[in-house]
Structure 1
Amino acid sequence: MNEKQIFIGGVDDIILQLKRNLISGDWLLVKGSRAMKMERIIEGLKDAVTKTKGSVKKEQ
């Protein structure tokens, strides 16, 4: 497995791994069907950024 790819089952685990591994300047593509409810990952990351020193740009 490529070290830049992370495969994890649950949403909470995914959010935790992303918070541990993402650094300033990284780009992240979250892709999945509507049934997978990938927006939960985005919301989890937004919460983490807001609670720390960063901010999240409002969606238009």
Structure 2
Amino acid sequence: MSAGEKTKAKAEQVVGKAVRKVAHAAGDDTTAAKGAALEARGKGRGTKEKSKDAFKR
């Protein structure tokens, strides 16, 4: 997995989790859902890159 893509994936996961938890604590369900979506996108990006690396070998 390229370092740039790995960093993007991890950053999206961390930011998404933080947004989700803060919004949930504040009672803002819409923003919490957006944070969860961002976190899921980061996990998907990481999974995609890992599968690309596994397929290359």
TM-score, normalised by the number of residues in structure 1: 0.38
Q: Which structure is higher in RCO with an 8 Å CA cutoff and minimum separation 6?
A: 2
Rg (Cα) greater in structure: 2
Q: Which has the higher helix share?
A: 2
TM-score, normalised by the number of residues in structure 2: 0.39
